């Protein structure tokens, strides 16, 4: 039976920049996917685009394409699908097109998928009755409308499949569901429809995409028994080999580090899942309780029996808004009673700020090394040295900037054994809060165009 091999060489913006190259060189791929976006990433890209209209996309991607030129020449049928377009898919596509032209690859078509960015239409949509109420609190978007910096619908796989049908060698999207990067190529290659007759295949493609979307997390990275994964420093990134009936196998390039087994796959299957029986995507509602996992060989796990039901009539919308300022600083506290001295130092720092007239909307004192990262999970430790971390968040930028000046004085006016201040004052950063909402699919029009 015919199969399609898709490898994912990036799980987030900041992932290993060599992984896509190695995967293409050794993976015998039909498609390479690269997943760059998270909710925070979209707000950062939105601010970048506001400052510089030509920005707003994952700048790493054109450089990756340039490094892949020898492989693109050697493998003319390889296609790339990525959400690197962020807030500016066309700008990203134009940069990639220039790279291809510079290297004599004018025959490779670049297509971009847009329509997810709702900011230009947000007030129009609100006036038309789309409420964008917070999914958890049901609060009205009007309460923070003036601070909104980005609003993006999670598009599905259909526009990706359409771009591939039009002959695109590289497809660059804005915000789409992560698994759509895999499902789009599969629907295109196998002719799957988005009707009820193919919901189980759509569920299989979605689950396949979910398993590889975070890169090395399914090939031994952060595995519960990662110490048993051989050569994790050279971890291989995942490949999914999918058959037309929806069965698929998770594997990785032969000879690469890490491992693929029942545990690594099962752990990733449940990653970021609220209701395993109803995993909502723009394409299908996938039932994660139905697949069965079978170890079919070294570093090969076959997944069978995926089931799904038709998708809902809404897109999820990721909205980011300005929510004040924050900073966090750290100091090392060493010697007898390190834990107690660290806690007292954190309280002292906040007391001094209070005496100076600064109360913060949110503050946190943590003693790293004493169990504060996982409170109540592990026994409290009594280490000879710890890291004191103090963080604040407040609507007033000046108040947070004042906070950053209070760490260094602890070195001479705090407890003995206080050190680690040579990195300078901690930075102040703007906070972008997350507002999840829904919008009717009928209100969103995905667009596919060549560049």
- Taking the CA of residue 57 as centre, how many other CA atoms within 13 Å lie in the half-sphere pointing to its CB? 25
Measured CA to CA, the distance from residue 308 to residue 311 in angstroms comes to 9
Measured CA to CA, the distance from residue 219 to residue 325 in angstroms comes to 37
Secondary element (H or E) of residue 389: strand 385-394
CA 340 distance to own-chain centroid = 37
For the chain, the domain total comes to: 2
Measured CA to CA, the distance from residue 324 to residue 8 in angstroms comes to 36
Dihedral of the alpha carbons of 195, 201, 205, 211, in degrees to the nearest 10: 130
Quick one: 241 and 336 in the same domain?
no
Quick one: 222 and 371 in the same domain?
no
Quick one: 308 and 328 in the same domain?
no
Quick one: 296 and 328 in the same domain?
no
Quick one: 163 and 282 in the same domain?
yes
DSSP strands (E only) in 186-267: 239-243, 248-251
Measured CA to CA, the distance from residue 192 to residue 202 in angstroms comes to 8
The order of strands in the sheet holding 31-34 is 292-297, 300-304, 248-251, 239-243, 3-8, 31-34, 79-82, 170-173, 110-114, 447-450
What's the helix, strand, coil split of the chain in %, to 5? Answer: 35, 25, 40
Single pTM value for the model: 0.95
Report yes or no on 333 lying in a domain: yes
> Which domain range does residue 231 map to?
3-116+154-312
Burial of 446 (0-12, 13-18, 19+ CB in 10 A): buried
Measured CA to CA, the distance from residue 211 to residue 226 in angstroms comes to 17
Q: Point out which residues pair with 171 in neighbouring strands.
A: 81, 111
Measured CA to CA, the distance from residue 348 to residue 340 in angstroms comes to 12
- Per-residue model confidence as pLDDT tens for the chain (451 residues): 689 999 999 999 999 999 999 999 999 999 999 999 988 888 889 889 888 999 999 999 999 999 999 999 999 999 999 999 999 999 999 999 999 999 999 999 999 999 999 999 999 999 999 999 999 999 999 999 999 999 999 999 999 999 999 999 999 999 999 999 999 999 999 999 998 999 999 999 999 999 999 999 999 999 999 999 999 999 999 999 999 999 999 999 999 999 999 999 999 999 999 999 999 999 999 999 999 999 999 999 999 999 999 999 999 999 999 999 999 999 999 999 999 999 999 999 999 999 999 999 999 999 999 989 888 887 777 899 999 999 999 999 999 999 999 999 999 999 999 998 778 899 999 999 999 999 999 999 999 999 9
pLDDT at 420: 86
Q: pLDDT digits over 280-322, tens only?
A: 999 999 999 999 999 999 999 999 999 999 999 999 999 999 9
Q: What is the DSSP letter of 373?
A: S
Radius of gyration of the CA atoms of the chain, in A = 24
pLDDT at 380: 74
Which of 274, 295, 312 is the C-terminal boundary of a domain? 312
pLDDT at 177: 97
- Nearest partner of 65 among 95, 42, 107, judged by Cα: 95
Quick one: 270 and 340 in the same domain?
no
Burial of 131 (0-12, 13-18, 19+ CB in 10 A): middle
Report yes or no on 403 lying in a domain: yes
Quick one: 425 and 286 in the same domain?
no
Measured CA to CA, the distance from residue 54 to residue 60 in angstroms comes to 15
Asked whether 171 and 447 are in contact (CB, 8 A), the reply is no
Q: What is the CATH number of the domain that holds 391?
A: 3.30.70
pLDDT at 1: 62
- Taking the CA of residue 357 as centre, how many other CA atoms within 13 Å lie in the half-sphere pointing to its CB? 3
pLDDT at 174: 97
pLDDT at 43: 84
Quick one: 307 and 328 in the same domain?
no
- Taking the CA of residue 172 as centre, how many other CA atoms within 13 Å lie in the half-sphere pointing to its CB? 27
Q: What phi, psi does 164 have (nearest 5°)?
A: -70, -35
Measured CA to CA, the distance from residue 212 to residue 11 in angstroms comes to 8
């Amino acid at each position: 039976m015919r199969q399609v091999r898709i490898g994912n060489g990036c799980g987030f913006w900041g992932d290993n920049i060599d992984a896509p190259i190695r995967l293409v060189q050794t993976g015998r791929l039909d498609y390479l996917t690269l997943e760059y976006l998270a909710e925070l990433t979209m707000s950062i890209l939105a601010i970048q685009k506001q400052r510089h209209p030509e920005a707003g996309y994952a700048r790493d991607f054109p450089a990756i394409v340039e490094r892949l030129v020898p492989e693109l020449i050697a493998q003319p049928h390889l296609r790339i699908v990525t959400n690197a377009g962020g807030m500016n898919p066309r700008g990203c596509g134009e940069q990639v097109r220039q790279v291809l032209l510079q290297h004599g690859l004018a025959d490779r078509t670049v297509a971009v998928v847009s329509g997810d960015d709702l900011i230009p239409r947000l007030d129009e949509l609100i006036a038309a009755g789309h409420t964008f109420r917070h999914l958890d609190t049901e609060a009205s978007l009007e309460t923070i409308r003036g601070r909104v910096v980005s609003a993006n619908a999670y598009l599905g796989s259909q526009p990706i499949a359409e771009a591939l049908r039009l002959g695109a060698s590289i497809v660059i999207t804005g915000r789409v569901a992560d698994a759509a990067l895999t499902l789009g190529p599969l629907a295109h290659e196998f002719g799957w429809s988005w009707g009820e007759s193919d919901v189980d295949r759509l569920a299989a493609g979605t689950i396949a995409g979910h398993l590889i979307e975070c890169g090395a997390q399914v090939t031994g990275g952060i595995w519960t028994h990662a110490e048993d994964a051989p050569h994790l420093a050279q971890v291989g990134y995942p490949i999914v080999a999918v058959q037309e009936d929806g069965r698929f196998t998770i594997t990785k390039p032969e000879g690469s580090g890490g491992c693929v087994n029942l545990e690594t796959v099962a752990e990733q299957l449940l990653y970021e899942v609220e209701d395993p029986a109803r995993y909502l995507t723009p394409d299908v509602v996938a039932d994660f309780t139905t697949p069965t996992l079978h170890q079919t060989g070294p570093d090969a796990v076959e997944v069978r029996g995926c089931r799904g039901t038709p998708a809902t009539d809404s897109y999820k919308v990721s909205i980011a808004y300005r929510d004040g300022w924050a900073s966090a600083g750290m100091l090392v506290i060493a010697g007898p009673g390190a834990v107690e001295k660290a806690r007292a130092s954190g309280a002292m720092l906040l007391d001094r700020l209070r005496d100076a007239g600064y109360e913060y909307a949110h503050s946190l004192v943590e003693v790293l090394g004493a169990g504060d990262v996982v409170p109540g999970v592990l026994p409290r430790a009594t280490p000879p040295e710890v890291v004191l971390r103090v963080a604040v968040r407040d609507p007033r930028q000046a108040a947070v900037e004042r906070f950053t000046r209070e760490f260094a004085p602890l070195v001479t006016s705090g407890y003995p054994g206080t050190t680690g201040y040579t990195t300078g004052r901690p930075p102040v950063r703007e906070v972008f809060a997350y507002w999840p909402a829904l919008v009717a699919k009928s209100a969103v029009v995905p667009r596919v165009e060549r560049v």
